[in-house]
């Protein structure tokens, strides 16, 4: 049985996180460098291919809830949820639903 679209999306989030985690240190977290690489490679279209280190630092600081200098999977999913909400709001506004 094929996974549903939503199940496939969940699997892709997990695979994408682990594609970048562990290159520098703990394999279950993203370092600043790993997070930057993930943001640029996987979300460049939505983020405008920003090379702004300050923007990456802000995202890292906002996400790193426990202040350990790394982003764990839960913190990563919070980012994905927030970006998804922002994209939904953007597309609703473009359609004139507000």
Q: What is the CATH number for 77? A: 1.10.238.10
Residue 19 and residue 34: Cα distance in Å, rounded? 10
Is 11 in contact with 3 (CB distance < 8 Å)? yes
Q: How many domains does the chain have?
A: 1
CA 39, 55, 74, 64 dihedral sign is positive
> How confident is residue 73, by pLDDT bands cut at 50, 70 and 90?
very high
Q: For tokens 């291919």, name the residue.
A: 49
Q: Domain of residue 67: give its range.
A: 19-94
Q: Is the pTM of this model over 0.95?
A: no
**Domain annotation covers residue 11:** no
> How confident is residue 84, by pLDDT bands cut at 50, 70 and 90?
confident
Q: Which residue in 19, 31, 15 sits closest to 72, CA to CA?
A: 31
**Domain annotation covers residue 5:** no
**Domain annotation covers residue 45:** yes
> How confident is residue 76, by pLDDT bands cut at 50, 70 and 90?
very high
């Amino acid at each position: 049985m094929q996974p549903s679209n939503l199940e496939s999306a969940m699997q892709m989030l997990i695979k994408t996180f682990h594609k970048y985690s562990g290159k520098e240190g703990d394999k279950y977290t993203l370092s600043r460098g790993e997070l930057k690489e993930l943001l640029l490679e996987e979300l460049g279209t939505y983020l405008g291919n920003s090379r702004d280190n300050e923007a990456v630092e802000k995202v890292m600081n906002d996400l790193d809830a426990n202040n350990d200098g790394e982003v764990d999977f839960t913190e990563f999913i919070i980012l994905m949820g927030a970006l998804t909400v922002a994209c939904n709001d953007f597309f609703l506004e473009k359609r004139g639903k507000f």
